[in-house]
Amino acid sequence: MSASQRTKGQVGERELFALLSHELGIVVRRNVDQARNGGADGIEIPGWAVEVKRQETNWKSAWWEQADAQAQALGRKPILFYRASRRPWCATVSLYTLAPAIFPVRPLDGDAVAHLSFRDACTLIRESLK
């Protein structure tokens, strides 16, 4: 990964966490110690492991696999936020997390996912914090 790609990722994380702080009413900061605690970009939101991708490519299943593995290692729910330039932030969550009444048991062969707008993802997180 080049220095410019790393910088773009860090800027994207700061941008997203500022937006999340505003929307959720809690302070959300970057996890600058990612390597030692499971690798999630953000763990400030109780119960959630946040992964952030600020890339020009379309959504990739490998991003989700990374977010899910990190969340499992931390015992948290995974959420992946991503965006390309001049596009809004979007989020991906598992259907198991989104609708546990419908999906009460985590599938062994991987999760089906739902793609949410930033505001819908914030609503999901806010409801889980009550």
Segment 56-59 long-range contacts (CB within 8 Å, at least 24 positions apart) = 56/84, 56/85, 57/84, 59/90, 59/92, 59/115
pLDDT in the model for residue 120: 97
Helix ranges, the chain (H): 3-24, 61-74, 95-98, 118-129
CA 70 to chain centre: 10
User: 35 or 89, which is more confident?
Assistant: 89
CATH number at residue 113: 3.40.1350.10
Q: Is the dihedral of CA 34, 36, 38, 42 positive or negative?
A: negative
For residue range 67-102, list pLDDT tens digits in order: 999 998 999 999 999 999 999 999 999 998 888 888
Task: Give me the number of domains the chain comprises.
Answer: 1
pLDDT in the model for residue 104: 77
pTM: 0.86
Do the strands 48-54 and 90-94 form a parallel or antiparallel pair, or are they unpaired? unpaired
The residue range of the domain holding 58 is 3-129
Given pLDDT bands bounded at 50, 70 and 90, which one contains residue 39?
low
> What is the distance between the alpha carbons of residues 117 and 100, in angstroms, rounded to a whole number?
20
Specify whether the CB–CB gap between 111 and 94 falls below 8 A.
Answer: yes
> What is the distance between the alpha carbons of residues 65 and 76, in angstroms, rounded to a whole number?
14
